[in-house]
């Protein structure tokens, strides 16, 4: 899922961050599938994800306060300018859950 998202981000107006964060995020479970521990890569990716979430958080909270949760699928301009950061925040939250899961699994396996 993260690899497909990375490829889709190539057409984004600011693709460097998005392709990197989703591409690195996709590498973490891939390395896990091949039996490799990528603690540094996971930590780097989590740092990138969290920094992006901090940047997008104001727009996400504005979206929640709007009370118009259906606008997430709508236009990203005009009075609904918060839609883009809200989408970014949600995407990063999903990436954080995936990368965090594999980071947790490595730690749990190490403690056995």
> How high is the pLDDT of residue 83?
86
- pLDDT at 112 exceeding the cut of 80: no
* Total domains in the fold of the chain: 1
State the residue range of the domain holding 84: 2-110
Long-range CB pairs of 35-42 (<8 Å, 24+ gap) are 37/106, 39/103, 39/106, 42/99, 42/102, 42/103, 42/106
Q: How many CB atoms lie within 10 A of CB 35?
A: 6
Distance between CA atoms of residues 85 and 72, nearest Å: 10
> How high is the pLDDT of residue 28?
94
For 50-65, write each residue's pLDDT tens digit: 999 999 999 999 988 8
For 75-102, write each residue's pLDDT tens digit: 666 667 788 899 999 999 999 999 999 8
Cβ-contact 15, 9 below 8 angstroms: yes
More confident residue, 84 or 105: 84
């Amino acid at each position: 899922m993260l690899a497909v998202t990375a490829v889709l981000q190539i057409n984004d107006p600011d693709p460097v961050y998005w392709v990197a964060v989703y591409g690195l995020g996709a590498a973490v479970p891939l390395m896990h599938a091949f039996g490799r521990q990528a603690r540094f890569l996971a930590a780097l990716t989590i740092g990138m994800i969290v920094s992006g979430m901090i940047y997008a958080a104001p727009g996400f909270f504005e979206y929640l306060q709007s009370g118009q949760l259906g606008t997430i699928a709508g236009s990203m301009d005009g009075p609904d300018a918060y839609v883009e950061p809200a989408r970014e925040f949600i995407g990063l939250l999903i990436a954080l859950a995936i990368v965090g899961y594999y980071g947790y699994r490595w730690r749990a396996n190490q403690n056995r």
